[in-house]
């Protein structure tokens, strides 16, 4: 199956669109309904992390890849963030929720301040 | 509710009179009022079973009374059933319909509300059967509906009011603290700065319980649902609401 790409404005009001798209995509994997619910929570928080510096412009790019009956999602925010943003209580708690909701999570902040999160589900044995 | 033999006989006579009267007979309204009055205790009995679900008891009695009136109008005494047996499902149905309509935070089409309930039921059945959380495809196949309809129902479910979620939590069940030790102690171990800890500690007990089980004890939503005797979708909605509120408070 081809990858799916979503580009939305980096504004909190679009989190619902990201959540419902994530539900539709994860529904096409072999993951269970409670994992789908977890992904929904994880994406709410991931979106909040990448726009945590409250940008007024820029987009969030989300790439969905189907991997081994599961899913891998890359969430990349706009430029302008910083380590201090990532160290805020809001971001640290959001990251704790993300890592508690998916099997594997990595974060990266580029020199221009763009935060990228790479989230992976488990590989489903029967897939 | 008539309790003595004579009251029951009087009830039967009233119903026989009510059925025999023509619809345009002014006496019919009076007889119906008498029947309503004599069975209001039945409505109160049913309404109290739905108390503590976030809706005032008076409102439930009012709604249940509509069910009672419908039952009186439809009752056929010559069929040999007791009126209370006949009326109970109508009264319960009216109150349940009220909850279904009232407790959606945003207006969700009835078809989608019903599919949401069917998805919850199918999830419970398949979880038992498969001994794991079913995939959306499996739920769609079980219900013989389109996969996207299941997703739409799941999305719609998130519009359900938190009031009813709290009410569905059994207040008589032992608290999480009784089962696993102090929840507050678990949260005291949180390593974040001071702004988060008071927010976590201030959460309502039910939300705190679920948050601790999911993120501090690493239990799945299905396991939490089993432990608390509620559906996985309820767990999901409670978590979503709790995390959304925490996020807003942390960012404010």
**pLDDT at residue number B103:** 60
Segment B228-233 shows an average pLDDT of: 81
Q: Is A98 on the interface with B (CB under 8 A)?
A: no
Contacts of B244 in chain A (CB under 8 A): 44
pLDDT digits (tens, 9 = 90+) for B195-224: 777 888 888 888 888 998 998 888 999 899
What is this model's ipTM?
A: 0.86
Tell me, yes or no, whether A127 lies in a domain: no
Domain CATH for A58:
3.30.565.10
Cα Rg of chain A, angstroms:
14
What are residue B75's phi and psi, to 5 degrees?
-65, 135
Q: What CA–CA distance (Å, rounded) separates B202 from B198?
A: 6
CA distance, residue A90 to nearest chain B CA (Å): 5
Q: Which of B132, B136, B196 sits opposite A27 (nearest CB)?
A: B136
Q: Does B243 touch chain A (CB under 8 A)?
A: yes
Q: Using CA atoms, how far apart are residues B84 and B81, in angstroms rounded to an integer?
A: 8
Q: Which domain holds residue A17?
A: 4-120
Mind listing the pLDDT tens digit for each residue in A20-47? 999 999 999 999 999 999 999 999 999 9
Which long-range contacts does A53-58 make (Cβ < 8 Å, 24+ apart)?
A53/A80, A53/A81, A53/A82, A53/A85, A53/A113, A55/A10, A55/A80, A57/A10, A58/A9, A58/A10
Determine the pLDDT at residue B175. Answer: 44
Each residue of B159-203: pLDDT tens digit?
654 433 333 334 444 444 444 445 555 555 555 556 777 888 888
What pLDDT score does B200 carry? 83
Share of chain B above pLDDT 70, in %: 78
pLDDT for residue B159: 63
Bridge partners (DSSP) of residue A7 are A61
Burial A35-66 (b: 16+ CB within 10 A, else e): bbbbbbbbbbbbbbbbbbbebeebbbbbebeb
- In this structure, is residue A107 part of a structural domain? yes
Determine the residue of chain B that is closest to A47 in CA distance.
Answer: B247
B192 to A89: CB separation less than 8 angstroms, yes or no: yes
Q: Provide the shortest C-alpha distance from residue B173 to chain A (in Å).
A: 23
**What is chain A's mean pLDDT, rounded?**
89
- Give residue B173's pLDDT: 43
pLDDT of residue B241: 86
What pLDDT is stored for residue A105 in this prediction?
93
- State the fold for domain B5-102: 1.20.120
Distance from CA of A112 to the nearest CA of B (A): 23
Is A122 in the B-facing interface, judged by CB distances under 8 Å? no
Q: Where are the alpha helices (DSSP H) in chain A?
A: 15-26, 33-50, 83-86, 89-101
User: Which tops the pLDDT comparison, B241 or B145?
Assistant: B145
How much is the pLDDT for B191? 57
Binary contact (B247, A33; C-beta < 8 A): no
Give me the phi and psi of B167, to 5 degrees please: -70, -25
The two structure tokens encoding residue A9:
């404005």
How many folded domains does chain A comprise?
A: 1
Residue ranges per structural domain of chain B? 5-102, 110-251
DSSP alpha helix (H) spans, chain B: 5-20, 26-49, 57-74, 83-102, 110-130, 136-143, 147-157, 162-168, 176-180, 183-188, 196-201, 205-215, 221-228, 232-251
Pull the structure tokens for residue B164.
Answer: 């009813």
Q: Does B96 touch chain A (CB under 8 A)?
A: no
Q: Residues of chain A whose pLDDT is less than 70? A: 55-56, 125-127
DSSP β-bridge partners for residue A75: A62, A117
**What's chain A's length in residues?**
127
| Residue B8 CB coordination number (10 Å) | 14
Of B134, B221, B246, the CB nearest to A37: B221
For residue A125, being part of any structural domain is answered with no
Q: State yes or no: pLDDT of B4 exceeds 80.
A: no
Question: Residues 6 or more apart from B111 whose CB is under 8 A from it?
Answer: none
Mean per-residue pLDDT of chain B: 79
Q: Considering the domain boundaries, does residue A72 fall inside one?
A: yes
Mark out the alpha helices in B50-82 (DSSP H runs): 57-74
Distance from CA of A66 to the nearest CA of B (A): 15
Give contacts of B192 with chain A, Cβ < 8 Å: 89, 92-93
Two tokens, residue B182 = 């102090």
**Predicted local confidence at residue B247, as pLDDT:** 86
A44 interfacial to chain B (CB closer than 8 Å): yes
Does the structure show a pLDDT above 90 at B23?
A: no
**CATH code for the domain defined by B110-251:** 1.20.140
pLDDT digits (tens, 9 = 90+) for B54-105: 667 887 888 888 889 989 988 888 887 788 888 888 898 888 877 766 665 5
Among all residues of chain A, which has the CA nearest to that of B247? A90
**Which has the closest alpha carbon to B160: B217, B234, B251?**
B234
């Amino acid at each position: 199956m081809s990858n799916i790409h979503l580009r939305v404005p980096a504004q909190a009001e679009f989190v619902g669109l990201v959540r419902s798209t994530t539900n539709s995509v994860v529904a096409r994997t072999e993951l269970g309904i409670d994992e789908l619910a977890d992904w929904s929570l994880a994406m709410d928080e991931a979106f909040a992390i990448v726009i945590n510096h409250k940008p007024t412009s820029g987009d969030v790019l989300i790439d969905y890849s189907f991997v081994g009956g599961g899913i891998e999602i890359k969430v990349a925010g706009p430029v302008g963030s910083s380590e201090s943003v990532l160290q805020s209580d809001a971001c640290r708690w959001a990251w704790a929720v993300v890592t508690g909701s998916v099997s594997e999570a990595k974060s990266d902040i580029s020199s221009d301040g763009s935060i990228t999160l790479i989230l992976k589900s488990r590989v489903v044995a029967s897939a | 509710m008539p309790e003595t033999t004579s009251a029951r006989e009087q009830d039967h006579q009233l119903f026989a009179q009510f059925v025999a009267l023509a619809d345009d007979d002014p006496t019919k309204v009076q007889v119906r009022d008498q029947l309503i009055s004599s069975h209001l205790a039945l409505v109160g009995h049913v309404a109290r079973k739905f108390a503590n679900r976030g809706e005032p008891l008076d409102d439930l009695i009012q709604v249940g009374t509509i069910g009672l009136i419908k039952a009186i109008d439809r009752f056929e005494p010559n069929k040999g059933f007791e009126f209370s047996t006949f009326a109970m499902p109508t009264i319960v149905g009216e109150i349940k319909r009220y909850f279904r309509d009232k407790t959606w935070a945003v207006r969700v089409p009835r078809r989608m509300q019903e599919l949401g309930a069917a998805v919850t039921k199918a999830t419970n059945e398949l979880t038992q059967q498969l001994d794991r959380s079913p995939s959306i495809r499996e739920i769609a196949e079980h219900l013989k509906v389109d996969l996207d309809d299941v997703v739409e129902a799941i999305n719609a479910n998130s519009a359900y009011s938190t009031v009813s979620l709290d009410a569905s939590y059994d207040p008589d069940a032992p608290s999480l603290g009784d089962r696993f030790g102090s929840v507050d102690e678990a949260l005291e171990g949180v390593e974040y700065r001071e702004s988060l800890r008071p927010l976590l500690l201030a959460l309502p007990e039910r939300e705190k319980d679920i948050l601790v089980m999911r993120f501090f004890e690493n239990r799945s939503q299905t396991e939490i649902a089993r432990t608390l005797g509620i559906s996985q979708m309820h767990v999901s909605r409670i978590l979503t609401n709790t995390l959304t509120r925490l996020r807003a408070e942390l960012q404010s």
